[in-house]
Structure 1
Amino acid sequence: MKAFDSPSAWDKMEAYDSTPWAAADDTEEACAFLAKIAEGGPALELGVGTGRVALPLTRSGVAVTGIESSPKMLEQLRAKPGGAELDVVLGDFADVPVEGEFSLVYCVFNTFLLLLTQDDQLRCFQKAADRLKPGGAFVLQTLVLSADHYGHEEWTETMHVGADEVVLLASVHDAAEQRVNRQQIVLTESGPRFFPMSFRYAWPSELDLMARMAGLTREERRTGWDEKPFYYPGYVTVYRKTA
C-alpha cells in the first residue's frame, strides 16, 4: 500500500517536537550516551528529522552531519537555533549519501525500521560501515513487537489521551514480512486527522547478522540509554568496526 510507503505522516506534522504523542522524551539521555561513544569525533545521524538529537549533540562539542528524506522535517530543523548551520543532506539514509569518515553513525527512535525491506536495512548497515573510521561505532535504537502483538494480524490501541485530543493506533501486521502498516488517528473537536506510517521490525539476532555481513561486531545491547540490561521491546545496540 503506497500510502504507507512514503514519509507522509511526518510531512503532515507542522510541529513534530511539540506533538506529545509523536516525539521521544529521551533527548538528554541519548545525547549523553552518544557523546561518550563518539569520543570527540564527528558523528553522522541517519534520519536526522527536526534535529531533536543532532542539535544538542552538536552543542556538546560533537560535529554532527545528518541525512533526512522529508523536506518538511528539514524545514522544522532549519527553523531552530543552530539548525541553519547544521550540515544535512536530503536523501535516502539507506544509501548513506555522504562523504568522509565518522567516529559514530547513529539512528534513534526506531527510525531505522522505516526502511521497509531487509535488503534496504542490510544496505544501510553496509553503507554505514563504509563511513565509519576504524574503531568507530554504529548505534541503533530499535524495537521488536511485544508478545501481546506478535501473534495478531491486527490490533487497535490507545496511544495518548489529552484534554482536547485522543490518539488511536490501528495496526495491521504481516508476520512473514515483519511489517506493520499503521494509521495514527488523532481525534479532536474539529474532526479526525490521519497519519499513516509503516515500519519493518528486525529481530536482534537479525540485526547482529546484518552487522557481521557489514564487517561490524556487536559490542553491547541494553534496554535504553542507561545501564539497564537488554529487555524487550525497545533497546539500544552498539556495533563496532574493527580498529
Structure 2
Amino acid sequence: MYRLRPAKPSDAELLADVTLAATRAQGRLAPDFDELAWRNGFVEWTLESIADPATDLYVVEVGDRPAGRLRVSRTPDAVELNGIQLHPDIQNHGIGTAILNALQDEATRRGVPLQLRVERDNPNARRLYDRLGFTRTAEADTEDVLQWTKGVEQNRLWNAEVAEKYDTPGTGMFAPEVIEPTVDRLAELAAGGRALEFAIGTGRVGIPLSKRIPVSGIELSTAMIDQLRTKDETIPVVVGDMASAQAPGEFSLVYLVFNTISNLLTQEEQVACFRNAARHLSPGGRFVIELWVPELRRLPPGIPATVGVAEPGYILLDTYDVLNQHVVSHHFHFGEGTEAQLGRTPHRYIWPAELDLMAQIAGFTRESRHADWSGDRSPPNHPPT
C-alpha cells in the first residue's frame, strides 16, 4: 500500500506541500494564514529534523508518488509519533491506519507504549486514534496527549511463562476430540480458500488447519508467537491487535476460537474486530466466532462471583461487573502445601443477540448458530459458532 523512505534535504519543499494540502483540506487554516511565512519556517524546521539524530523523518510514497510525511521519535521508554500528514488524494484508503498499525507492532515488539499528540480541532484524526485503542493521558495547550499501551499489557498478561505452559498436548482444549471437529468444520467453511485466524496464539487450531488449507494469523502477544514458532515456522503471522491489524491479501474465512473475542474489553473494540474481519474477506467470505454464552443465571442475587471449577489443584472463580459486561477469571493453582498461584484474565462477555447486531453493523448477515463444532443446532449450552 505504501513505502517509507528517509527524508532528504531536497524533500523539504515537498513535505511542506503535503502538510499544507492536508491541513487545508481539513479546513484548519486560520483566516489570516500567511503561507509564505509558514512555508519558510516549516522548511527550516524540516531541515533541522532531518539533521536531528533523535528523530526519524520519512516520506510516504504510494506507488511512485511521494504523498505523505511521517515523523517518529524512538527512546528506550516509548515510540512517539510526532506527526503524520497524507495528501488528501490518498486519504481514506487505509494508509494512515496501516502506518499506525506498523508503529503499534514496533511498540509491541519493544514492550513500550506508542505515544502521540493530536490537536483538538482535528476530530477526524481523533476518531481514528480512538478506534485504534489510544487513550488520553494528558492535555497540552491545544492538544491532547494520547497513548497506546495494549501491546505492553497483552505481553504482560500473555508472557513467556504463560506461553510455555499454554499448550497441553492431547488433553483439555488440545484433545483430539476438541481439535478435530474444529479443524474439520473450519476447513469446510473455507471451501478451499485461505483462512485468517485472529489471535492465533500458539497455533492450537491454526497449525493443524494449515495442513488442510493455507492459514495466516494475527497475534498481539510476541511470547505466544515465539511458542508457535517452536512448532511451525511457515504460517505467516502479523504482530498486532485483531481489532485493527491487517494481514496481506484476501481470505475466504476469518475465524476466532475459544472465546478470544472477549479479550477485547470494550464494545467499540469488538465492533472494530467485526469490521476488521470484513476488510479481510473476499465477497461471500465467512467470519466464524466461538464464544461461550454468559451464565449469569448462576450468579446469586447480590453476590458478584461464581465458582466455575473446583477440583484437586485448581479453582476457577469468576467475578462479574454486570453493568459493563466484564468478568475476571481468577485461576488458583495449588499443591499439597498452603501456597497457591493466582492468575487473572479479564474478559467482556457478549450476548448472542449482541453478536448479531455487531455483525450487522459490519455488513455481515448471520448464516447459522450452533451449539458445537459438529453442527448441532440445539440450544447452545456450549460455545456457539
Report the TM-score range of the alignment, normalised by the length of the smaller protein.
0.7 to 0.9
Which residue in 2 is equivalent to 1:195?
343
Structure of higher RCO (CA pairs closer than 8 Å, 6+ residues apart): 1
Map 1:172-187 → 2, pairs under 5 A:
172-187=319-334
Asked if 1:126 corresponds to 2:278, the answer is no
**1:230, 1:199 → 2: CA distance?**
26
Q: Secondary structure at the match of 1:219?
A: coil
Which residue in 1 is equivalent to 2:204?
52
Which residue in 2 is equivalent to 1:154?
305
1:204 offset after TM fit, Å?
0.6
Moved runs in structure 1, 4+ residues, more than 4 A?
A: 19-22
**2:293, 2:253 → 1: CA distance?**
24
**1:149, 1:185 → 2: CA distance?**
20
Tell me which amino acid in the other structure corresponds to 2:224.
M
Map 1:1-243 → 2, pairs under 5 A:
6=154, 8-11=156-159, 12-13=161-162, 14-18=164-168, 23-25=173-175, 26-60=178-212, 62-80=213-231, 83-146=232-295, 147-149=297-299, 152-161=303-312, 166-189=313-336, 191-237=339-385
1:47 offset after TM fit, Å?
0.7
**1:201, 1:28 → 2: CA distance?**
26
Q: Secondary structure at the match of 2:193?
A: coil
- CA shift digits 1:5-44 (9 cap, x unpaired): 6464532322311288874531111000000000110000
Compare 8-17 and 219-228 and name the one that shifted more. Answer: 8-17
Question: Do the aligned partners of residues 192 and 8 (structure 1) sit closer, same or farther apart at CA in structure 2, a change above 3 Å counting?
Answer: farther
Question: Do the aligned partners of residues 135 and 84 (structure 1) sit closer, same or farther apart at CA in structure 2, a change above 3 Å counting?
Answer: same
Question: Do the aligned partners of residues 65 and 21 (structure 1) sit closer, same or farther apart at CA in structure 2, a change above 3 Å counting?
Answer: same
Tell me which amino acid in the other structure corresponds to 1:106.
Y
1:150 offset after TM fit, Å?
7.7
Q: Secondary structure at the match of 1:45?
A: strand
Contact 2:370 2:380 in 1 (8 A): no
Tell me which amino acid in the other structure corresponds to 2:280.
R
**2:360, 2:256 → 1: CA distance?**
18
Tell me which amino acid in the other structure corresponds to 2:257.
V
Q: Secondary structure at the match of 1:186?
A: strand
Q: Which runs of 5+ in 1 are unaligned?
A: 238-243
**1:28, 1:177 → 2: CA distance?**
35
Q: Secondary structure at the match of 2:384?
A: strand
Q: Secondary structure at the match of 2:248?
A: coil
Larger radius of gyration: 2
Q: Secondary structure at the match of 2:354?
A: helix
Contact 2:315 2:332 in 1 (8 A): yes
Contact 1:117 1:200 in 2 (8 A): yes
Question: Do the aligned partners of residues 63 and 126 (structure 1) sit closer, same or farther apart at CA in structure 2, a change above 3 Å counting?
Answer: same
Q: Secondary structure at the match of 1:134?
A: strand
**2:169, 2:363 → 1: CA distance?**
38
Contact 1:16 1:23 in 2 (8 A): no
Contact 2:293 2:381 in 1 (8 A): yes
- CA shift digits 1:193-231 (9 cap, x unpaired): 222101111111100001011110000000010121142
Contact 2:298 2:306 in 1 (8 A): no
Q: Which runs of 5+ in 2 are unaligned?
A: 1-148
The structure in which a higher percent of residues are helix is: 2
Compare 150-159 and 10-19 and name the one that shifted more. Answer: 150-159
**2:244, 2:300 → 1: CA distance?**
30
RMSD: 2.2
Which residue in 2 is equivalent to 1:241?
none
Contact 2:173 2:179 in 1 (8 A): no
Matched residues, number: 227
Q: Secondary structure at the match of 1:222?
A: coil
- CA shift digits 1:62-109 (9 cap, x unpaired): 1000011112211111001xx111101111111132232100000001
**2:282, 2:310 → 1: CA distance?**
40
**2:201, 2:186 → 1: CA distance?**
17
